A and B are shown apart, each in its own frame.
Chain A
Amino acid sequence: MKVKRKYLLIFPEQTVDRPITYHLIHDYDLMINILKASVTPGKEGRLVIEVQGEKGALESAKNYLSGIGVRIKPVIEGIHWLRERCVHCTACVPGCPSQCFVVDRKTMRVSFEKERCIVCKHCLSACAYGAIEILENYAD
């Protein structure tokens, strides 16, 4: 079964010079998309990657990374509604599959029910006023 996941990888100082992405692609047949990277020589490195591949291969790759001392944290994405940027236009409403955006039809004001959100990101393209942000947190 193919899966797609996002991880934050934290490299200790001694692994910074190893071609880890090469190994993930070559040895585990994973598709790697590097989203963010900061590698400072002599310090720890941080890499945010999106990985796509067979579930089994992904598990083996994670074992390989842990084995060489790389810490792996899943990235949890969350939609953040910026109340002060929202003008209550309703453009986000129809495309949202989980009906997160609720309109009070009397006041014509929009509110956001965060617990219903499945992070499909439709609202990110529907909103013209910059009132939707994606926040990334890292689980421990």
Chain B
Amino acid sequence: MKTIEEINQKIKSGKVVVVTAEEILSIVKEKGIKKTLEEVDVVTTGTFSPMCSSGVLLNFSQPKPKIKAGAVYLNNVPAYSGLAAADIYLGASALPEEDPRNKVYPGAFKYGGGHIIEDLVSGKDIKLSVFAYGTHCYPRKEYSCLINLKNLNDAILLNPRNSYQNYNVAVNLSDKVIYTYMGVLLPKLGSAHYATAGMLSPLMNDPYYKTIGIGTRVFLGGGIGYIIWHGTQHTPNSPRTERGIPKGPAGTLALIGDLKQMSSHFLRGVSLRGYGVSLAVGIGIPIPLLNEEILSYTLVANKDIIMPVVDYSEAYPNGKDEILAEVSYEELKSGSTKILGKRVPTCTFSSYARAREIANTLKEWIRQGRFTLTQPAITIDRLNNES
């Protein structure tokens, strides 16, 4: 048994031992569970993938005279303004009104909310246009200016659903190419598109959310963030394997963090052909090795992760719960897998290389004492039981 306080003491004295979710396997293989638990304090995880349920909360400086924002655009992309006068929220999948969408099929979706977030975090100027009806206290009706990360009062990344625990593998059984958020799916089972960072994924290493909770400090977009709730569409009671790994999409997280600390290396606007725009987000969560049970969960390997194969030409759009096959993350990562007797090439929009980079970066932060662990106000498993 170890406590988060004890681990933080070790971080402060420079004696902490941190390894990544990949490295822990060989250590346990060599030293066994008991010895490893004595020696290793923290396992770091990482993931990098498009996560559409992301966005930024911005507060701009009031002009003179003042304005109460009505219709708001950032580089012509509409933002939500149904908040106080100078608070606006820009969603990652917002599109400029003049974007032709899928009128010229398949749409290219070159620029939208996700790209603005990437531009902001890179320090670029963004054109803010505000329209209002005017009041006694906020008389101005039109305002436009250039905003950037430095002159915004607040720029907060606020993501309602990130870090999916497991996900579908998308295939196309029809005889035409289809354009989806999982990629350009080749016809007649021509390609299989998966997601997540497998054994590096944060929620795969704490599958029952026993250490992760509200207030957990995390790596978010290259800066520091916090878990604020479970994410939307969080379904912890999905079917699981014997070792507790969900067999399909299950847990999710809602995250928050200061955009001003983040980096465009870990926050990237994406253009999904024929679908829309989004934001790829880099997330890393430290798992404190509090006891044998927690350590044993972090020993998940890519071969233990089973993902459901779903037909995105028919079953998915029509909401049919049909699973064509189950394949392991290990196979998907190898470049091809067997589905319905056919050898199918595989690919993903998630970057395993960048997920690994995140797990290693977080490991270094903790080793250098730049990042300490937090005791969550309530873990997600308890939150699930409360509601």
Contacts and interface: CB of A to CB of B under 8 A. Distances in A.
A23 interface: no
B351 A87 contact: yes
A88 B354 contact: yes
In this complex, the member of B269, B334, B349, B350 whose beta carbon has the largest number of chain A beta carbons within 10 angstroms is B349
Contacts of A129: 268, 270, 280
Contact of A126 (B184, B333, B351, B356): B184
B228 to A, nearest CB: 26
B347 A108 contact: no
Given A95-B184, A108-B333, A89 B345 contact: no
A110 B347 CA distance: 12
A126 B183 contact: yes
Interface residues of B, number: 33
Contacts of A109: 353
A93 interface: yes
A18 B50 CA distance: 51
Contacts of B353: 87-88, 107-109
Interface string B311-354: 00000000000000000000001110000000001111111111
Contacts of A107: 353
A105 interface: yes
B272 A105 contact: no
Number of chain A interface residues as a range? 20 to 34
Given A94-B190, A128-B271, A129-B280, A89 B335 contact: no
A90 B351 CA distance: 8
Contacts of B351: 87-89, 108
Nearest to B346: A94
Nearest to A86: B351
Given A128-B50, A128-B272, A108 B356 contact: yes
B280 A87 contact: yes
6 contacts: A89-B348, A94-B347, A95-B191, A105-B334, A122-B184, A128-B50
Interface of B: 48, 50, 106, 179, 183-184, 186, 190-191, 193, 268-274, 278, 280, 333-335, 345-354, 356
Given A91-B348, A105-B334, 18 more contacts: A87-B268, A87-B353, A87-B354, A88-B353, A88-B354, A89-B347, A89-B348, A89-B350, A89-B351, A91-B347, A91-B349, A94-B191, A103-B335, A108-B356, A122-B184, A125-B106, A128-B273, A128-B349
